[in-house]
C-alpha cells in the first residue's frame, strides 16, 4: 500500500471545516502528505511557490479571488503542480471554465473519501480525474459550445440587453449608438438565429448564459 513515493498536497479552501475534513481524511493515507493548508488564494500561492507540491486541491467557491480565477495564477506560481478542483456543484460553467484554464480534475465534495484519494493518485500520475457525471456535463457543454451562437461580439452584447427587456432606444443610449443601428443588429440576430419573437431571443440568451445570472 506504500510502494509509491508520497504525494505532496496543498489544500486551499475558505471553509475551515472542509480543510480540517480533508486533512483528516488524507492523513489516514500514508502515501499522501498534506504539506500545507490555506484559507484563501494568496496564502495558498505562497505555500505552493515554496513547496512546489504535486497537487493543489482548490476550492472553487472562494471570496475575492475565486478558485476558477486562481487556477491560472497557481499554474504560473508553480508550473509543475497539478490543480484538482473541489466543488459543491456540478455546474457546467464551473467545470468547463476549470478545464479551459488548465485544471487536471474536478471532484464534487459529496463523493466518498476513496474517490477523492483516487482522484489525487490519478492526477499525481499525470492523468485527469472527473467525478461521475462531470464527464457527461463536459460532453454536453462541448456540444452546446460547438454550435454556440453564430453571432458577432457586438450582436451578442445587444442580445444580452434585448433579453432582459431593454428597448432599442435604451440600448442605443447605453451603447452610444443610433436607434437605427440597434434595430439593424436586432434584425441580424433574429435572422441568424432563425427566430422572430423577443421571447425566443430571451430563451436563447438564457440558455447560453448571456443574461447576467440574477
Partner DNA sequence: CGGTCCCTACCCACTACTGGGTAGAGTGCT
Partner DNA sequence: AGCACTCTACCCAGTAGTGGGTAGGGACCG
- Where along the sequence are the contacts to a copy of itself (CB under 8 A)? 14-25, 61, 88, 109-110, 112-113, 116, 163-167, 170, 197-203, 206-207, 214
Binding part of the chain for DNA, among 56-64, 103-111, 134-142, 191-199 by CB under 7 A, reads: 191-199
**Residue 173 touches DNA, criterion: CB under 7 A:** no
Judged by beta carbon distances under 5 to 8 A according to partner kind, the member of DNA, a copy of itself, none in contact with residue 179 is DNA
- Residue number with CB closer to DNA (101 or 161): 161
Which of DNA, a copy of itself, none does residue 206 bind (CB under 5 to 8 Å by kind)? a copy of itself
CA 11/CA 129 separation, integer angstroms: 17
Question: What cell was used for 50?
Answer: 515554496
Q: Which does 210 bind (CB under 5 to 8 A by kind): a copy of itself, DNA, none?
A: none
Write out the DSSP string of 124-156.
HTT--EE-TTHHHHHHHHHHHHHT-----HHHH
Nearer CB in complex with DNA: 68/159: 159
Binding test (CB under 7 A) with DNA, winner from 196, 200, 203, 206: 196
203 contributes a contact to DNA by CB under 7 A: no
DSSP character string of 91-133 = -HHHHHHHHHHT-SEEEETTS-HHHHHHHHHHHHTT--EE-TT
Q: Cell for 191? A: 435572422
Is residue 187 within a helix (H) or strand (E), and if so which, with residue range?
helix 179-193
Q: Is 111 in the site for DNA (CB under 7 A)?
A: no
The entry of a copy of itself, DNA, none that residue 100 binds, CB within 5 to 8 Å by partner kind? none
Q: Is 180 in the site for DNA (CB under 7 A)?
A: yes
Burial 160-191 (b: 16+ CB within 10 A, else e): bbbbeebebeebbeeeebeeeebbebbeebbe
Q: Which residues bind DNA (CB under 7 A)?
A: 152-155, 167-170, 175, 177-181, 183-188, 190-191, 196, 198
Amino acid at each position: 500500500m506504500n510502494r509509491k513515493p508520497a504525494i505532496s498536497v496543498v489544500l486551499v479552501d475558505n471553509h475551515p471545516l472542509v480543510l480540517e475534513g480533508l486533512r483528516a481524511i488524507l492523513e489516514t493515507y500514508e502515501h499522501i502528505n498534506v504539506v500545507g493548508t490555506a484559507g484563501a488564494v494568496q496564502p495558498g500561492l505562497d505555500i505552493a511557490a515554496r513547496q512546489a507540491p504535486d497537487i493543489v486541491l482548490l476550492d472553487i467557491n472562494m471570496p475575492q479571488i475565486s478558485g476558477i480565477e486562481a487556477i491560472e495564477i497557481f499554474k504560473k506560481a508553480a508550473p509543475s503542480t497539478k490543480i484538482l478542483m473541489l466543488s459543491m456543484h456540478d455546474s457546467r460553467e464551473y467545470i468547463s471554465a476549470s478545464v479551459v484554464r488548465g485544471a487536471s480534475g474536478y471532484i464534487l465534495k459529496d463523493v466518498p473519501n476513496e474517490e477523492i484519494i483516487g482522484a489525487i493518485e490519478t492526477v499525481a500520475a499525470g492523468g485527469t480525474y472527473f467525478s461521475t457525471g462531470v464527464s457527461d456535463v463536459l460532453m454536453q457543454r462541448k456540444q452546446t459550445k460547438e454550435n454556440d451562437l453564430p453571432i458577432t461580439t457586438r450582436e451578442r452584447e445587444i442580445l444580452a440587453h434585448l433579453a432582459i427587456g431593454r428597448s432599442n432606444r435604451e440600448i442605443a443610449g447605453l451603447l452610444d449608438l443610433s436607434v437605427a443601428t440597434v434595430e439593424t443588429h436586432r434584425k441580424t440576430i433574429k435572422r441568424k438565429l432563425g427566430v422572430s419573437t423577443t421571447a425566443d431571443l430571451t430563451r436563447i440568451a438564457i440558455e447560453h448564459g448571456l443574461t447576467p445570472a440574477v
